[in-house]
A and B are shown apart, each in its own frame.
Chain A
Amino acid sequence: MAAATAGSGAGSGAAGSPEATGGSTGGGGWRRPHGPLQRYYGPSTAEAAEAPPDPTDINGPHFDPEVFMTKVRSECPLGQLLAREAALSREIRALDSDMQTLLYENYNKFISATDTIRKMKVDFRHMEAEMDDLAANMAAISASSARVSAALQDRHRRGAQLAGVQALLRKLQALVEVPGRLRRWAGTEPARALRCHARARAVLRHYRHLPSFRAIEDESHAIMAELAQRLRTRLREETLDPKELTECVEMLLQLEEPAEELSEEFLSQAGARLEAELAALEAELPAADLSGTATTPLPPASDILDFVDRGSSAFVGTLCQLAGSYRALFGGDTGRLEPFAAALATRYFALLERRLSLERGLGDTSLLTFFLGCLGDVRQALAAPRPPGKEGPGLPDLLATLAASVLGQLKAVLAYVQLFTARDVAFASLPYFKGEFCVTAVREGLVVAFVRWLCRTARGFADGPAERGAPAAPPALLLLLARLCLDYENSTISYILTLTDEQFPPQDSGPAVTPGPALCAEARAAAQRLLDHYVQVQGAAVAQMLRKSVETRDWLGTVEPRNVRAVMKRVVEDITAIDVQVGQLFEEGVRRAQSSDSSRRAFSVYSSSRAPGRYAPSYTPSAPMDTHLLSNIQKLFSERIDIFSPVEFNKVSVLTGIIKISLKTLLECVRLRTLGRFGLQQVQVDGHYLQLYLWRFASDERVVQGLLDEVAASAAHRCLDPVPMEHSVVELICERG
């Protein structure tokens, strides 16, 4: 308190006073969060190190009164010194009075303490005498207690001995009673008898050297042997259900009967039982030889669902139960169990198969046969000679019949299979069955596989060994199948899949399913392949006709043409027939718009406006490219025509493909021949005739025109005496023909 006052008094002048130092640390407080604390409790270590020991600090550890005095004396003005002196003397007086007050208070307390101590001295003297009395009494009590316990010890020991004897006697009693109990329980409660025997057995075995115990043991052995015998007899009874059987064997095992023998016994018993069940199932099937003969097999006695349900609940259930208990009884050694179970299961499945085979119209095999049968019918219908005047069934009708009957059959099969998922069938509610059955068996195995197979079969007609001698499929069938596949792609597949998913809802966690689009893509690929093949087959047929006609004719020595050659008429007829055929099944398609009088367009090999140099090359060796320049330039601007290229699914595209193949063949064949003047004119007439009748079939008549132009140009090239026929004459001949 004094220091603080003194500090504040001197602080105004002293630069190194604590106040000033405190202020500087306060300024640096932002640097350390605990700055305020340090300021309160004293200078920080850092500060102490900073500031040299200040002897003038009145509160500091290094305070030196001499230095302080000298400093104050030498630095402070007189007024300040006087004021300080007055303050000091005032302070000293206050301290004196405080000291006096304290002194009085302490003196009073001391007096009262002295009084208390004196009183305590008197009380303690009385208490000491009473404590001596107590000690004497306690000694007397312990002495008498020791005497009493000594007297009782002997009797206590005898009591304990007696209790031991009694326990032993009780045990002996129990042992003696064992045979009786065993005998009593062996008949009624063999399990209890076994427990009893198990408890007694060890003891008996241990004390068997004593004659009396041996007698007991022998007797109980005899009883147990009898029990075992009885159990064995029971084991051989046929009426045991699997649970009893298991219990029985378990007890025998406890009787330490040989496990090997027991497991055999167990299996043979179980086998007999399962055999009986199998026999019961088999009894429901008509005899094997009966189903093989031509006589109508008896209608199955029970419904297939019943059969499968019973089979799965009775036979499979029992088998599982038995297998489970076998494992529990005989440990992990399943060497004998596995062949046993496998053999039985095989027989069961064989029975099941026999039963299933009785069901007609079930399964995909029949679906496949059905489809093939339908195809055969269609083929026959196509191949059948048509009586004149009476049209056979049209392609659309055949297609509709085929599609409808296949779809109908598929639906029928689905409906049939659906019975398996009905609510009242026990096994249908098993979760794993449902997922497996709906997705793997029905959707993937039946529906998807059928669609795939259908596409594959259809493709087979296109990829098939047509050129290696086997009879090729009739073109109409290719067309029909192409349409069928296309229909499948467009609608039928999604319809079938939706139907299947509705009837057999797929499980969430089920295996992945084949998506519809993948199937559609397959169907489309098959359709494309079939249609391409159709175009190739039909094109090749027409081309073959043209090739033979060009190759076999003598073009040099021919006479002046008066008619269109018969083969050209035949070509036009054939293409018209193909047009009709395709038109029955496919849409018209888009044709590039052309002026309506296209048929009138001159088919002229020498129309002077068209590349004059092309047909009469002048021999100009110095400029090799000149002669073909015009035709080459013309070709540069026309599109390259792919002859055997995929076609679109419409009539025009199909027909264009066929015409392209035919005309390109004509071109190549003409190039291989040498023509006379009339040969050229015949080609001219034929070309014009084709132009007249074919342009309407093609998607772009310029294709026809272009190819026929090339034919004409090549013919002119191959002609020894290229004198073309008058165009009007050509027209006249064509109109007449």
Chain B
Amino acid sequence: MEDDAPVIYGLEFQARALTPQTAETDAIRFLVGTQSLRYDNQIHIIDFDDENNIINKNVLLHQVGEIWHISTSPADKGVLATCYNKTSDTKVMTCAAVWRMPKELESGSHESPDDSSSNTQTLELLCHLDNTAHGNMACVMWEPMGDGKKIISLADNNILLWDLQESSAKAVLSSSTALEGKGQLKFTSGRWSPHHNCTQIATANDTTVRGWDTRSMRQIYCIENAHGQLVRDLDFNPNKQYYLASCGDDCKVKFWDTRNVTEPVKTLEEHSHWVWNVRYNHSHDQLILTGSSDSRVILSNMVSISSEPFGHMVDDDELSDQEDQHQEEKIKEPLQDSVIATYEEHEDSVYAVEWSSADPWLFASLSYDGRLVINRVPRALKYHILL
């Protein structure tokens, strides 16, 4: 079975920020934010035409500064949030804002790429998340499965929960908490758990991973020394509520059961430099994607700790007798966690990997030199999981 070749798209600037358009479930669309200190920064809306293997892009200007983090509303296709650097001669401040893209770009336009680049459009500012009192914004998280009204931002050592009001034109700080401790504590990243009615988030600072309850804004668990060095990223298993993946500067990816945090459930050591990003596949949580500054993207199959440790379960009533037998045979197959593929299309550090929100078998990775690579899960594995 021949796999499709990866599709590569090059941006003219360095880039770190990548996100799928979360609210879009039909078209494959990614947003990339660039980093340039001397030119106007851009947000590239990348449409991928799966059938023809063609990329369509639209460019939006983001003039306020270079983008360090980008996230999209789970409810409104046109709304997104960025964390950007505001630089003056003596100071750099990372701020966050919520934006709306022009209406016609929400669902992608079908202009040819050449045309779209000539008439670049601008984002419409909805509101700033005022952080003057809180410090630099590390990331903005939208409430998963929510109505796009609640966001949490991490600013230095503060967790800020905002309510977006008046159709996102106003952001009201509804609650906040600060992480206290000796030394200068700074959150590096965080994720909002889709479980427990979206009342939990996890954050990373230095080598520690912490869980928080968003109702009380209290810490609910703490994994001290989760990694030997800095923790770079986290992700929640979308199907198993207590499972959490983390990655960091010790080149490892660790999987945790938040009910027992003394030891990781599993550890992966495949990368040869810092792991910047870890992502669970949204539907098949055995598929783990990691991006690293060794310029590689690795797709792993962690069957043994997934929600489908015995393969895809078919409901009983859907099974005829014959299928029943087939099912039993499948269950007997030994399970093995393994690296499925190592993607080496990048030549610089990969700072972001993301699964598509529309196609569970497709993912994008972004390296610092502005190269965006779209890859698919190998077909053999896809059919193995599905059938």
Nearest CB in chain A to that of B292: its residue: A643
Contact B39 A674 (CB under 8 A): no
A644-B273, A717-B14 known; A674-B85 Cβ under 8 A: yes
The stretch from B88-96, B173-181, B297-305, B376-384 touching chain A is: B88-96
- Our pick among B13, B92, B368 for the contact of A556 (Cβ within 8 Å) is B92
Contact A540 B228 (CB under 8 A): yes
**Minimum C-beta distance from A524 to chain B (A):** 20
**Minimum C-beta distance from B373 to chain A (A):** 14
A622-B114, A664-B273 known; A631-B369 Cβ under 8 A: yes
Interface residues of A in 586-633 (CB under 8 A from B): 617, 619-622, 624-628, 631-632
Count how many chain A residues have C-beta atoms less than 8 Å from C-beta atoms of the other chain: 36
Q: A640 — which chain B residues lie within 8 A by C-beta? A: 295, 344
A467-B228, A557-B90, A720-B87 known; A668-B349 Cβ under 8 A: yes
Q: A719 — which chain B residues lie within 8 A by C-beta? A: 37
Contact B228 A619 (CB under 8 A): no
> Could you name 15 residue pairs across A and B whose Cβ atoms are closer than 8 Å?
A466-B228, A468-B225, A556-B89, A556-B92, A617-B36, A627-B12, A631-B369, A643-B294, A645-B272, A664-B273, A664-B293, A668-B274, A668-B293, A674-B85, A674-B92
Check B10 for interface membership: any CB of A closer than 8 A: yes
Check B127 for interface membership: any CB of A closer than 8 A: no
- Besides A643-B273, A644-B273, A645-B272, 18 new A-B residue pairs in contact (Cβ under 8 A), listed by A number: A467-B227, A467-B228, A467-B250, A540-B228, A556-B91, A617-B36, A621-B117, A622-B114, A624-B12, A626-B12, A635-B347, A640-B295, A644-B272, A668-B293, A668-B349, A674-B37, A676-B90, A720-B37
Q: A557 — which chain B residues lie within 8 A by C-beta? A: 90-91
**Minimum C-beta distance from A133 to chain B (A):** 114
Contact B10 A720 (CB under 8 A): no
* Assembled-state Cα–Cα distance A717/B90 (Å): 17
Q: A718 — which chain B residues lie within 8 A by C-beta? A: 37
**Minimum C-beta distance from A287 to chain B (A):** 47
Q: A556 — which chain B residues lie within 8 A by C-beta? A: 87, 89-92
Q: B90 — which chain A residues lie within 8 A by C-beta? A: 556-557, 676
**Minimum C-beta distance from A556 to chain B (A):** 6
Check B251 for interface membership: any CB of A closer than 8 A: yes
Question: 7 tightest CB-CB pairs across the interface, nearest first?
Answer: A467-B228, A643-B273, A642-B272, A625-B10, A635-B347, A674-B92, A624-B10
* Assembled-state Cα–Cα distance A676/B92 (Å): 10
Check B11 for interface membership: any CB of A closer than 8 A: yes
Check B259 for interface membership: any CB of A closer than 8 A: no
Nearest CB in chain B to that of A616: its residue: B38
- Our pick among B14, B37, B87, B347 for the contact of A632 (Cβ within 8 Å) is B347
Q: Mark B95-138, 1 if CB is under 8 A from A, else 0.
A: 00000000000000000001001001000000000000000000
Check A636 for interface membership: any CB of B closer than 8 A: yes
Q: B228 — which chain A residues lie within 8 A by C-beta? A: 466-467, 540
A624-B12, A628-B10 known; A469-B225 Cβ under 8 A: yes
A467-B228, A621-B59, A628-B370 known; A643-B272 Cβ under 8 A: yes
Check B219 for interface membership: any CB of A closer than 8 A: no
Count how many chain B residues have C-beta atoms less than 8 Å from C-beta atoms of the other chain: 40
Q: A720 — which chain B residues lie within 8 A by C-beta? A: 37-38, 87, 89
Q: Tell me whether chain B's interface is mostly helix, strand or loop, or mixed.
A: loop
Interface residues of A in 510-555 (CB under 8 A from B): 540, 544
**Minimum C-beta distance from A266 to chain B (A):** 58
Check B229 for interface membership: any CB of A closer than 8 A: yes
Q: B117 — which chain A residues lie within 8 A by C-beta? A: 621-622
* Assembled-state Cα–Cα distance A472/B225 (Å): 14
Check A671 for interface membership: any CB of B closer than 8 A: yes
Nearest CB in chain A to that of B186: its residue: A551
Q: B272 — which chain A residues lie within 8 A by C-beta? A: 642-645
Q: A717 — which chain B residues lie within 8 A by C-beta? A: 14, 37
**Minimum C-beta distance from A560 to chain B (A):** 15
* Assembled-state Cα–Cα distance A540/B272 (Å): 13
Q: B348 — which chain A residues lie within 8 A by C-beta? A: 635
Q: Mark B6-19, 1 if CB is under 8 A from A, else 0.
A: 00011111100000
Please count the residue pairs between chain A and chain B whose beta carbons lie under 8 angstroms apart in the complex.
Answer: 80
Q: Mark B260-275, 1 if CB is under 8 A from A, else 0.
A: 0000000000001110
Interface residues of A in 632-686 (CB under 8 A from B): 632, 635-636, 640, 642-645, 664, 668, 671, 674, 676
Q: A632 — which chain B residues lie within 8 A by C-beta? A: 347, 369
* Assembled-state Cα–Cα distance A469/B262 (Å): 11
Contact A620 B349 (CB under 8 A): no
Q: Mark B75-88, 1 if CB is under 8 A from A, else 0.
A: 00000000001010
Interface residues of A in 540-578 (CB under 8 A from B): 540, 544, 556-557
Instruction: Please indicate which of the listed interface residues A628, A631, A632, A635 has the most CB atoms of chain B within 10 Å of its own CB.
Output: A628
Contact B12 A619 (CB under 8 A): yes
Q: A671 — which chain B residues lie within 8 A by C-beta? A: 349, 368
- Our pick among B11, B36, B91, B229 for the contact of A624 (Cβ within 8 Å) is B11
Nearest CB in chain A to that of B351: its residue: A671
Nearest CB in chain B to that of A674: its residue: B92
Interface residues of A in 684-737 (CB under 8 A from B): 717-720
Q: A643 — which chain B residues lie within 8 A by C-beta? A: 272-273, 294
A540-B228, A628-B370, A668-B274 known; A676-B293 Cβ under 8 A: no
**Minimum C-beta distance from B265 to chain A (A):** 15
Q: B14 — which chain A residues lie within 8 A by C-beta? A: 717
* Assembled-state Cα–Cα distance A196/B37 (Å): 124
Q: A628 — which chain B residues lie within 8 A by C-beta? A: 10, 12, 369-370
Q: B37 — which chain A residues lie within 8 A by C-beta? A: 674, 717-720
* Assembled-state Cα–Cα distance A640/B37 (Å): 28
**Minimum C-beta distance from B112 to chain A (A):** 12
* Assembled-state Cα–Cα distance A628/B229 (Å): 32
Q: A674 — which chain B residues lie within 8 A by C-beta? A: 37, 85, 87, 92
Contact B13 A617 (CB under 8 A): yes
Q: B274 — which chain A residues lie within 8 A by C-beta? A: 668
**Minimum C-beta distance from B277 to chain A (A):** 14
* Assembled-state Cα–Cα distance A642/B293 (Å): 10
Interface residues of B in 1-40 (CB under 8 A from A): 9-14, 36-39
* Assembled-state Cα–Cα distance A664/B294 (Å): 10
Q: B250 — which chain A residues lie within 8 A by C-beta? A: 467
* Assembled-state Cα–Cα distance A627/B250 (Å): 33
Q: A621 — which chain B residues lie within 8 A by C-beta? A: 12, 59, 117, 120
* Assembled-state Cα–Cα distance A257/B227 (Å): 80
Nearest CB in chain A to that of B230: its residue: A547
Q: A635 — which chain B residues lie within 8 A by C-beta? A: 347-348
* Assembled-state Cα–Cα distance A627/B38 (Å): 14
Contact B349 A619 (CB under 8 A): no
Contact B347 A636 (CB under 8 A): yes
Contact B89 A617 (CB under 8 A): no
Interface residues of B in 213-245 (CB under 8 A from A): 224-225, 227-229
Interface residues of B in 141-177 (CB under 8 A from A): none
Q: A467 — which chain B residues lie within 8 A by C-beta? A: 225, 227-228, 250
